[in-house]
Amino acid sequence: MMTSKETTLLQRTSLPGIAMWSRWQADRSMFFNSFFVEGEENLIVDPLALEDADLRTIEAAGGAAWIVVTTRDHERQAGALAQRLHARIAAPERDLKELTVKVERALRDGDTLGRARIVQFDEMKSPGELGLYLADCETMIVGDALQGDPPGSLRMVPDAKLGDPKRAALSLRRILALQPRNILMGDGHCVFGNATQALEEYLATRTDVLIHKINLDELTDWTERHGPGRLHRRQAEVGFLLGAHRLGYQVLEIAPGEWGSPLHGHTEEEELYVIFDGSGTIRFTFGEYPIRKGDVIALPTGKRGAHQLRNTGPSKLVVLALANNEPGDGCFYPDSDKLLFARNTMPRMVSGNRGTDLDYWDGESG
């Protein structure tokens, strides 16, 4: 039990299951921060020294499965804390040779650890600089990739400390693509609530790069959508990545013989498809029609715009999808009689006839 005379640093944040502690760095005129993230596997990120009372609090919460070092320069007290808590250390694969602690897991882009997904940055202060994205609370945790200084704003470390300032700045768009509400930083003041806006404002000050442009061969953050049978596609977020707000852009890739989605239509978002490569068909409720490279296809809201892409060609089908972003957009699925309400805010999929909650793929076949 903690007595009134004991010193504590650990404090809860407004985010579920996340606490932090800080120590003032007089030579830098800012606080350095560390984070405790509770979940199926508890994580401690970039640990500074802790008081005994704080260690007991962490032990009472189940201890820590992993100590995460986000960069070679944030080894800090990782070794001592791992020994005290019987935790393992995870660190960027690219920085392993420059760490003195024993690392039991090398982290790469896209890995998952506890509640977090690993996001790798390029040409930062250290080659391995990475962040941890917690989708359940729309939060990014970074080490040296960004600093919170002055309060409420973000900036990178001076360009002279970066491997390649332009590539480093552009790699921060990977954070924009995730649209986090909060960014917790190892150095300086964390930003809560408007983190994406703060990052956009910082990147807009960098006239050495154009953040609003990307080539398709530069897209790295692809996700997979798997359904029953032939329902499968890859997709990459483009709009948020480039700082777009009112229009949404995604690139879709559909392999030969596969279908990009169930037959569906939108209530508020009018879409446009541009076929960049490949061939196939697009199916509507009133017929199925061939498509090929160079086609531009309007998809109005309502029943007439309900559609499904099918790759019937010999190579992958590559499509740029554009739409107006509408928070109240809903989807309907004619083949399976489903309705998806508030798709972008509080999604709920129900049966059109029974009103019961359903899985996204319920009633679909490929």
Domain boundaries, the chain: 11-204, 216-351
| Cα 95 to Cα 53, 72, 113, 141, 346, distances in angstroms | 32, 6, 18, 18, 40
In whole angstroms, what is the distance from residue 43 CA to residue 39 CA?
8
Q: Of 321, 314, 219, 345, which Cα lies nearest the Cα of 261?
A: 321
Residue 166: phi and psi, rounded to 5, are: -65, -50
Would you list the DSSP string of 186-250? SBB--B-S-HHHHHHHHHHT-TTS-TT---GGG---EEEEE-STTBEEEEEE-TGGGT-SSEEEE
Distance in angstroms (rounded) separating the CA atoms of residues 202 and 192:
16
> Which whole-number Å values give the CA distances from 150 to 139, 202, 343, in the listed order?
20, 12, 36
pLDDT at 355: 57
C-alpha to C-alpha distance for 194 and 181, rounded to whole angstroms: 5
**DSSP 3-state of 68:** strand
Q: In 3D, which of 289, 245, 282 has the Cα closest to residue 265?
A: 282
Q: Is 2.60.120.10 the CATH classification of the domain at 216-351?
A: yes
pLDDT at 1: 41
- In angstroms, what CA-CA distances link 283 with 13, 149, 260? 49, 52, 11
The whole-angstrom separation of Cα 245 and Cα 324 is: 9
Angle at 354 between CA 349 and CA 359, to 5 degrees: 30
CATH for 11-204 is 3.60.15.10
Given CA atoms 56, 58, 61, 67 in this order, what sign does their dihedral have?
A: negative
- Kindly give the confidence (pLDDT) of every residue in the chain, 366 residues in length, as a single tens digit, with 9 standing for 90 and above: 444 567 889 999 999 999 999 999 999 899 999 999 999 999 999 999 999 999 999 999 999 999 999 999 999 999 999 999 999 999 999 999 999 999 999 999 999 999 999 999 999 999 999 999 999 999 999 999 999 999 999 999 999 999 999 999 999 999 999 999 999 999 999 999 999 999 999 999 999 999 999 999 999 899 999 999 999 999 999 999 999 999 999 999 999 999 999 999 999 999 999 999 999 999 999 999 999 999 999 999 999 999 999 999 999 999 999 999 998 899 999 999 988 886 666 667 677 655 567 778 888 887
Q: What is the pTM of this model?
A: 0.88
